[in-house]
Amino acid sequence: MRCLYVDLDGTLLGAGGAVTRDGEGGFTLLGIRALEACHRAGALVCAMSGRPRTVLHDDARILGLDDYIFEAGGGFAVGDELHWLAAPDTHERITASGAPDLLLERYRGRLEPHTPYSEGREVSHILRGHIDVEDGRALLHEHGHDDLRLIDNGEAHHDSVALASLPSVRLYHLLPAGVSKPAGVAAHMRARGLAPEECVAVGDSGEDLTVADVVGALWLVANAFEHHADLRSQLGRYANARAAEATHGAGVYEAVVTTLAEGR
């Protein structure tokens, strides 16, 4: 393994978006130990997140990472080099299309902007709530927004009073049709001169699962399946995908140490 691509929210990060917390809020160092194990093995770690570029830049610095993929594939950084995979004004153009308002109106009471993380975005819109993604995609198609895609990017760690009655709260990104985490990972791999078989990815969502198309192995942490009933059946479609027994950072640690041990 020469590179680990790791999702942040719901994967490396636990309750409250903290790397030192598990899903229930207990203190843990396993996520940090996963990063340490990669460092000792000489493997690069690249965060792949839906977070905006400016926020992720600071998150990566705190985690000791040089590389990151921001806004679910909108662009990536290799050290100090920034690479855009969509125009920096794409967020404004999506706003002008009316697509975000269309979704918010149709799913009133079940969907809202993911404030404050909806601010400062350049490529995508981010919403939180609990909806049927396929229904949302059909709505966008019905209104002529085939140039956009709606994705489920895993569980939200931010509480919302307005959505308190929902069974769970998930994050949804509204992106240009050509933007995706797999495309972002593949572009980063080319920039770093990495081969698919040298790369492992860990995530917690259906969008993360599709990264299996471009890497040697893909893991989903155990909490990925808690509020996504059909995700386990989707996992079976990928020969190189597997499920960790542990959740959040502990699941990342499990994926890293298992991969390193199997590679000896």
- Evaluate if residue 263 carries a pLDDT over 90: no
In terms of residue numbers, what domain contains 27? 3-87+180-262
At 15 the pLDDT is 92
Last residue of a domain, one of 153, 176, 199: 176
Last residue of a domain, one of 149, 176, 203: 176
For 207-239, write each residue's pLDDT tens digit.
999 999 999 999 999 999 987 878 999 999 999
Same domain, 161 and 184: no
For helices 90-97 and 99-106, angle between their N-to-C axes, nearest 10 degrees: 50
Residue indicated by tokens 């492992």 = 200
Q: Please tell me the total count of domains within the chain.
A: 2
DSSP secondary structure letters along 75-120? EEEETTEEEESS-TTHHHHHHHHTHHHHHHHHTBTTEEE-TTTTTT
At 229 the pLDDT is 75
For 240-259, write each residue's pLDDT tens digit.
999 999 999 999 999 999 99
Helix (H, G, I), strand (E, B) or coil at 35: helix
Specify whether the CB–CB gap between 22 and 28 falls below 8 A: yes
At 116 the pLDDT is 87
Same domain, 80 and 202: yes
For 29-44, what is the mean pLDDT? 98
At 204 the pLDDT is 94
Query: pLDDT confidence of 134, banded at 50, 70, 90?
Result: very high
For 65-77, write each residue's pLDDT tens digit.
999 999 999 999 9
- Measured in whole angstroms, the distance separating CA 260 from the mean position of its chain's CA atoms is 23
**CATH number for 8:** 3.40.50.1000
* Mean pLDDT, rounded, of the chain: 95
Last residue of a domain, one of 116, 145, 176: 176
Specify whether the CB–CB gap between 158 and 114 falls below 8 A: yes
Q: Please indicate whether residue 107 or residue 161 has the higher confidence score (pLDDT).
A: 107
At 157 the pLDDT is 72
For 126-132, what is the mean pLDDT? 94
Same domain, 187 and 255: yes
Q: Please indicate whether residue 263 or residue 210 has the higher confidence score (pLDDT).
A: 210
For 141-188, write each residue's pLDDT tens digit.
999 999 999 998 888 877 788 898 888 888 999 999 999 999 999 999
Specify whether the CB–CB gap between 31 and 255 falls below 8 A: no
At 156 the pLDDT is 81
Same domain, 94 and 172: yes
Query: pLDDT confidence of 264, banded at 50, 70, 90?
Result: confident
Distance in angstroms (rounded) separating the CA atoms of residues 73 and 55: 15
Specify whether the CB–CB gap between 158 and 117 falls below 8 A: yes
Choose among 129, 128, 104: nearest CA to 116: 128
At 63 the pLDDT is 97
Helix (H, G, I), strand (E, B) or coil at 264: coil
Same domain, 9 and 20: yes
- Measured in whole angstroms, the distance separating CA 8 from the mean position of its chain's CA atoms is 7
**pTM score above 0.75:** yes
For 11-28, write each residue's pLDDT tens digit.
999 998 999 999 999 999
